[in-house]
Amino acid sequence: MKKLALLFLLASCSGTTANAPAAKGDPPPSIVLIVTDDQGYGDLGATGNRVIDTPHMDALARDGAGIETFYVSPVCAPTRASLMTGRYNYRTRVVDTWVGRAMMEPDETTVAEVLRDAGFATGIFGKWHLGDSHPMRPMDQGFEESLVHLGGGLAQPSEPPENGRRYTNPILFQNGAPVHTHGYCTDVYFDAALKWISEVHKAGRPFFVYLPTNAPHGPFHDVPQALYEKYLGRDLGPVLLGGAGDRDRVARVFAMIENIDQNVGRLIDKLDTLGIGDDTLVVFMVDNGPNSVRYVGNMRGKKGEVYEGGIRSPFFLRWPARLKAGRKSDRIAAHVDVMPTLLEAAGVALPKGLKLDGRSLLPLVEGKKVAWPDRTIFIQAHRGDRPLPYHHFAARSQRWKLIRPTGFSNERPSKDAPFELYDMANDPREEHDLAAQRPEVTAALRERYDAWFRDVSSTRPHNYEPPRIVIGTDHETTTLLTKQNWRRSEGPGWGVRGRWLVHVARAARFDATVRLKEALRGRAELRIGSARAAVEATGLEQSLTFRNLRVPAGDAEVEFTLTHQGKTSGPHQVVLTRQ
């Protein structure tokens, strides 16, 4: 079992240490967890959207149980870290979405690892976004079968250059190896998942399927054409918030979402055809707020914001054998509650000593009378290498919500940014700031936040340092290094220069292929720890090869520079292959 960090559990967090196993002889249910990317709370008929057609996702809401107030992070990787571990993402080293800030600590114990060790077949189909290289890949973190894209999405710097930003017929990675697929990306994920479900069901194994689609995340150039034209022909006014939204983008997003909905229908049909629909728990949620200004129910906000529209998700649970259709709970809950909920549903106990920040929601959606004291949920995310106190956070109790919306994109907050306090029972749109009128509530929530921030920041030594990519092992003899996982040292956005933090498992010789963004002439230098090599780039090639670099064992940095006409730039990608 992985090393476990001891943590201090706040009373307001209501942490979980164990789950009750199922009754002896009861077969465990299979589990499907669907998480869409940038969909937003309001992009469903079930949540009041009068424009979009989502009959199958609406059926999950109608035929299943639900949590009415469910929180996620304002951006994707932090949500995914919390989903996989049942712990706040700041315990896992995941603090952002890119440039080396979205790699999860390998010592974290994932829900996939626990279920796999309990005999479940485990598979992921879609978006991982918690590390692309060993030992952080899904196949290193409990998934027996994986079909994923790299980084935070297709059309990002982590994709194979030959993919050409495609969502249709994309190059994906199956159990670590690149594969050319056929079809629209969402269809590909569900096709693979349904095929795999049939195989493991035939083998008599319960399964855990994680289906995190990258749709409807941008870019939006490649969407299902017929559905796009359908929504272009509709009156989108009711969802554009008074004309503030981008009509063409929303039409493209809705096309992607309806395509997801069609696949959800195929999934339910497959489960029913196999005779396991009643005994399979299907959970649906999104990862953050919508990726444009559009309808979010009786709320305000979008992706990246800590207002409700940026951090609220639908949370539907369909399990006909155990959950009554239409049962809802009004208790607040969050992404950290997903792992303990799934484990209790599966009848699988937590590994001894493992402590979570979340607690199982199963008693709530079963309608059981259970002690459920008021708790405080904490949400925080912003750009930067390490979290800063009071920067872009929310602290939510059952009634009150304290926020300091200092801007996700800012690495540092404005010093004079105010705190805002809202009475969520009477002001769900967060229109009436009561921080000045209710200073005692503001002070109490700040005190709880302070204790939480100290706690999560002290989970392990060097808490916010990224985990190192391990190279040169038999687990991954060829390692792809991209801007997704480097530490940016120069330039805005993804950066033009940077370095990768690696650990060389044992002394070895490596060949390296450096892919350039554009062919340039100049002196090219590659450094892996103390090993260095240089070549003259002719300006005719978009890749350079360095052979037979002898690299000693231990921690090291990988860095490449090309100097052209007095300016120094970095690589697009670096591929290291152990000889």
Q: What is the pTM of this model?
A: 0.95
Neighbours of 551 (CB within 10 A): 23
Beta bridge partners of 567: 564
- What CA–CA distance (Å, rounded) separates 7 from 452? 11
Cβ 76 vs Cβ 335: under 8 Å: no
Which pLDDT does position 25 carry in this prediction?
Answer: 58
Which pLDDT does position 39 carry in this prediction?
Answer: 97
Q: Which residue shows structure tokens 């994920």?
A: 189
Cβ 150 vs Cβ 163: under 8 Å: no
In the numeric block, which tokens belong to residue 123? 């598979």
User: Pairing state of beta strands 377-380 and 400-404?
Assistant: unpaired
CA angle 540, 544, 549 (to 5 degrees): 155
Neighbours of 206 (CB within 10 A): 21
Cβ 73 vs Cβ 79: under 8 Å: yes
- What CA–CA distance (Å, rounded) separates 33 from 79? 14
Cβ 558 vs Cβ 525: under 8 Å: no
Q: What is the DSSP string of 439-506?
A: HHHHHHHHHHHHHHHHHHHTSSTTTTSPPPEEESBTTBSEEEEEGGGSEEEESSTT-SEEEEEEEESS
- Residue, of 391 and 4, whose pLDDT is higher: 391
Which pLDDT does position 276 carry in this prediction?
Answer: 98
Neighbours of 420 (CB within 10 A): 19
Cβ 141 vs Cβ 110: under 8 Å: yes
368-378 CB burial, b ≥16 within 10 A, e <16 = eeeeeeebbbb
Helix, strand, coil shares of the chain, percent, nearest 5, are 25, 25, 50
pLDDT surpassing 70 at residue 18: no
pLDDT surpassing 50 at residue 20: no
In the numeric block, which tokens belong to residue 359? 């607690």
Q: Read off the DSSP letter of residue 351.
A: P
Nearest to 80 by CA among 145, 33, 147, 31: 33
pLDDT surpassing 80 at residue 496: yes
In the numeric block, which tokens belong to residue 488? 């940016």
pLDDT digits (tens, 9 = 90+) for 182-227: 999 999 999 999 999 999 999 999 999 999 999 999 999 999 999 9
- What CA–CA distance (Å, rounded) separates 410 from 351? 38
Nearest to 453 by CA among 383, 411, 395: 395
- What CA–CA distance (Å, rounded) separates 200 from 206? 7
- What CA–CA distance (Å, rounded) separates 241 from 301? 11
Q: How far is CA 540 from the centre of its chain?
A: 39
pLDDT digits (tens, 9 = 90+) for 541-571: 999 999 999 999 999 999 999 999 999 999 9
Q: pLDDT band at 3, cuts 50/70/90? A: very low
Q: Read off the DSSP letter of residue 407.
A: -
Percent of the chain with pLDDT over 70: 96
Residue 279, φ and ψ in degrees, nearest 5? -105, 20
Q: Give Cβ neighbours of residue 490 (< 8 Å, ≥ 6 apart).
A: 496, 497, 498, 570
Which pLDDT does position 214 carry in this prediction?
Answer: 98
- What CA–CA distance (Å, rounded) separates 224 from 168? 9
Cβ 38 vs Cβ 76: under 8 Å: yes
Q: pLDDT band at 16, cuts 50/70/90? A: very low
pLDDT digits (tens, 9 = 90+) for 420-470: 999 999 999 999 999 999 999 999 999 999 999 999 999 999 999 999 999
pLDDT digits (tens, 9 = 90+) for 511-526: 999 999 999 999 999 9
In the numeric block, which tokens belong to residue 47? 């949540």
Instruction: Report CA Rg, the chain.
Output: 24
Q: What end-to-end distance do the CA atoms of the chain give, in Å?
A: 31
pLDDT digits (tens, 9 = 90+) for 360-413: 999 999 999 999 999 999 999 999 999 999 999 999 999 999 999 999 999 999
Cβ 419 vs Cβ 435: under 8 Å: yes
- What CA–CA distance (Å, rounded) separates 5 from 352? 12
